Amino acid sequence: MKAAVFREYSKDPTKVVKIEDVDVPKIKPTEVLIKVESASYNYNDLWAIWGEPIKIPIPHISGSDVAGTIAEVGSDIRKLKVGDRVVSHSNLSCRVCYQCTSGREYDCDNRLVWGFQTGPLWGGFAQYTQLPEVNVVKIANNVSFDDAAAVSMVGMTSWHMLVGRTKIKPGQLVLIMGGSSGVGMVGIQIAKLYNCTVISTAGNKEKMDKCLSVGADFAVNHREPDWNKKVREICKSLGKSGVDIVFEHIGKSVFPQEVQLLNYGGSLVSTGATTGYDSTLDLRHLFFKGINLLGATQGTRAELEDVMMWVSKGKIKPVIDTILPFSEMVKGHVMMAEAQKFGKILTTPQKL
């Protein structure tokens, strides 16, 4: 089979990532073999190629988000059969430890991100790949492979943030920071699914328009120094003093203002810190206002199932920037590094 392989680390993906012929993986009794039709890019693919911040197994195949059909099933597989249309759940967890059996598989003692920490030669940028049955979710016939691969990781992450962590309720006022990002665009749609009013921020006019086009009611430029005052004015125009939920992944440059914008009893959920992690917190807001500061990483398999159900109903629409033929897949890594995109970049391993 063809696979995108690198055998050494490099800051320049074009120097090391090559399409090679490698053996089709052999599956264990608890695994399925997936014929990969579409695979999407994530930032951890770049970390793998760079060998920073951690060294991953090489030779390596990246790719933690795929959709395709089941080509073979192991002898212990119970629910899946050859020909089923599926999407991957990249969080490999033991299903035995305390965290796993408490419903927090993403905190598993033995957690590995498939396609990033796995290997050698075990990831999604290949014509075939293998996964445990528990890491595969069936998709409806009306969901395309490209849509499934585009939405799986960002969809599950956003769902976990808003539904799993903040317990979003209908009618709340929700501030989605960085709404034109992968997680942000799904976050806007999930908040609208709950009939919430959504204020979204973005870094320029074009990105603000993108937020409005996927459903945000208001858009604000968070690169302007008084962005938080603009959010406050919108809250007041709606008869509220602040927001009920802040969906956050920007970090230090906006965090203190976000905390100030929260209503009494409001929740901030964070899944990243692009602009820096060593922020400050005015503790008076924490105790006087009884706010909740929540963290989130990835999500559960069940949350991915929920997302795929709403995708099949047309309520969450994946946003795709570019689909690359597999022979040109390395361009996707370069686009990720340059951050010149709206939505997900995909490649199609069966179409060279």
Task: Tell me how crowded residue 169 is: count the other CB atoms within 10 A of its CB.
Answer: 11
Alpha carbons within 13 A on the beta-carbon side of 154: 31
Binding flag, residue 97, Zn ion (CB under 5 A) = yes
For residues 269 and 103, the answer to whether their CB atoms sit within 8 Å is: no
Residue 288: CB partners within 8 Å, gap ≥ 6?
none
Closest distance of CB 93 from Zn ion, Å: 5
Closest distance of CB 98 from Zn ion, Å: 8
Rule CB under 5 A: choose which of 19, 46, 80, 94 binds Zn ion: 94
Binding flag, residue 108, Zn ion (CB under 5 A) = yes
Residue 332 CA to residue 344 CA, distance in Å, equals 10
Binding flag, residue 134, Zn ion (CB under 5 A) = no
Among 28-36, 99-107, 117-125, 220-228, the segment contacting Zn ion (CB under 5 A): 99-107
Closest distance of CB 215 from Zn ion, Å: 36
- Four-residue CA torsion sign, 319, 321, 324, 330: negative
Closest distance of CB 108 from Zn ion, Å: 3
Residue with tokens 């014509």: 127
Closest distance of CB 67 from Zn ion, Å: 25
Closest distance of CB 106 from Zn ion, Å: 10
Among 58-66, 107-115, 244-252, 334-342, the segment contacting Zn ion (CB under 5 A): 107-115
Quick one: which of 186, 169, 167, 131 has its CA closest to 319?
Answer: 186
DSSP codes, 143-206: S-HHHHHHHHHHHHHHHIIIIIIS---TT-EEEETTTTSHHHHHHHHHHHHTT-EEEEEESSHH
Binding flag, residue 40, Zn ion (CB under 5 A) = no
Q: Measure Cα distances from 45 to 27, 114, 172, 239 in Å.
A: 23, 11, 36, 44
Q: Which is nearer to Zn ion, 106 or 125 (CB)?
A: 106
How many residues sit close enough to Zn ion to count as binding (CB under 5 A)?
5
Binding flag, residue 100, Zn ion (CB under 5 A) = yes
Quick one: which of 57, 112, 120, 61 has its CA closest to 89?
Answer: 112
The interface mask with Zn ion, positions 307-336, x = CB under 5 A, is: ------------------------------
Q: Which is nearer to Zn ion, 109 or 282 (CB)?
A: 109
Binding flag, residue 92, Zn ion (CB under 5 A) = no
Binding flag, residue 183, Zn ion (CB under 5 A) = no
Q: Which is nearer to Zn ion, 106 or 255 (CB)?
A: 106
| Identity at 313, one-letter amino acid code | K
Binding footprint of Zn ion on the chain (CB under 5 A): 93-94, 97, 100, 108
